[in-house]
Amino acid sequence: MSTSFHIDPSLLPSEDDVRRYEETGYYVTKTVLPHDLLDRCAVAIAEHHQGRRDHKLPKARYTDWKPGDGDGVRNNEFCSLQNDGVKELAMFPVIGAIAARLARSPLIRLFDDQAIYKPTDQGSNSNSTVGWHTDHSYWSTCTSNKMLTAWIPLHDTSVANGTLTVVEGSHLWRESEHVRQFNNVDLESLGRWIGRDIPDSAIKPIVLKKGQFSFHHMRALHASAPNIAPYPRIALAVHLQDEDNHYQPFSSTDGQPIVLAHDQLCRRDENGMPDYSDPCVFPTLWSERAVTA
């Protein structure tokens, strides 16, 4: 069965917006997501935390927070493949349509997603900081250099509740290619350990109203400060691949082959390699060939 798409063109980035994204490494959307869609996803994530699964995945090495795993940041990967309420948001067509414009790709597929629950740090000894990293550093088996992430908060975000922060232009830096300091809570030390002077003006907290979301390039440095608001911050990060992306073998510095959870979940192609176009694991969010007038 074929799928067709129609999106109001006024919701999409202009050519100037796309060029700006290519220069800065991030893009903030207009208010395009229905509030009731976000509210349903919030309920679905809460139920996921309580143990509900609409679909069971094969065993693979991915993170899927459950009660008893601690009171820090909750990270549930491949959530949309397990939970229909999360899938409804992750597959919302305007997300893929905007991504296609930004990546200049005629087709956008899901790569994976993460439901991220950042608890309040008020009155606790925990630290909900997420350290500086690039998504590319975790995707070494991908051939594309145009992959991107839609970061979708389910409510308003601010500096106080630990919104996403990006380093403008860092996707163009050689030094940022393999940064993976996710668990390093010292956000002030970035310039020191990558050996580059980073002006304060390049650090961009993404402040959003409910219904807005942001995109960042796979090589863009990003992090988030502690949540000092009196309520949790909940977001869905939807990682997206352009049409040209496919699997490539890659080894660690000690010669061990890198195996992503994606590789364990998807089918094999004709050469016996993981197939990053497997529609069961990497469904299509957007295709120009399926656009209706």
Task: Give the tens place of pLDDT for each residue, 158-207.
Answer: 999 999 999 999 999 998 878 888 888 889 989 888 889 999 999 999 99
From the list 194, 228, 22, the residue with the least C-alpha distance to 123 is: 228
User: Over the Cα atoms of the chain, what is R_g?
Assistant: 18
Both tokens assigned to 32? 């395009």
**Is 279 inside any structural domain?**
no
Taking residues 69-82, report their average pLDDT: 94
Beta bridge mates, 76: 64, 115
Q: How confident is the model at residue 4 (pLDDT cuts 50, 70, 90)?
A: low
Taking residues 60-83, report their average pLDDT: 93
**Is 276 inside any structural domain?**
no
What is the total count of domains within the chain? 1
**Is 97 inside any structural domain?**
yes
Judged by DSSP in three states, 35 sits in helix
Both tokens assigned to 110? 């899901």
Q: How confident is the model at residue 125 (pLDDT cuts 50, 70, 90)?
A: low
Q: Which domain holds residue 223?
A: 35-269
**Is 8 inside any structural domain?**
no
pLDDT of 124 = 65
At a CB cut-off of 8 Å and minimum separation 6, what does 90 contact? 79, 80, 110, 113, 236, 238
**Is 241 inside any structural domain?**
yes
> Pick the residue with more confidence: 148 or 194?
148
**Is 69 inside any structural domain?**
yes
**Is 27 inside any structural domain?**
no
Both tokens assigned to 289? 């060939």
CATH code, domain carrying 145? 2.60.120.620
Give yes or no for residue 1 having a pLDDT over 70.
no
**Is 1 inside any structural domain?**
no
From the list 158, 5, 207, the residue with the least C-alpha distance to 95 is: 5
User: What span, in angstroms and rounded, lies between the C-alpha atoms of 278 and 183?
Assistant: 31
pLDDT of 95 = 98
